[in-house]
Amino acid sequence: MVHGMPLITAIVPSPRHPGRFTILVDGKSHATLSLDAIERLGLAVGGDVTGLEERIEAEAARLKVYDRALNMLAFRARSSAELARSLVRKGEPRELVDHAVARLQEQGLLDDAAYAQSFTRMKVLGAQQSRRRVQQELARKGVARTVTDAAISTVFEEEGVDQRAIVEQAARKKLRSLTKLDPVVQRRRLYAFLARRGYDSEDIRHAMDAVQREP
Name the region of 42 (left: φ>0; alpha: ψ -120 to 50; beta: rest).
Answer: left
Question: pLDDT of 85-108, one tens digit each?
Answer: 999 999 999 999 999 999 999 999
CA distances to 59, 79, 146, 180 from 93, in Å: 14, 19, 29, 57
Question: What pTM was estimated for this model as a whole?
Answer: 0.81
Which residues are within 8 A (CB) of 52 and not within 5 positions of it... i.e. 6 or more apart? 41, 43
Question: pLDDT of 21-58, one tens digit each?
Answer: 999 999 999 999 999 999 999 999 999 999 999 999 99
Which residues are within 8 A (CB) of 48 and not within 5 positions of it... i.e. 6 or more apart? 5, 6, 7, 8
pLDDT at 4: 67
| DSSP 8-state symbol, 200 | -
CA distances to 45, 61, 107, 150, 204 from 194, in Å: 67, 49, 41, 25, 7
CA distance 14 to 144: 38
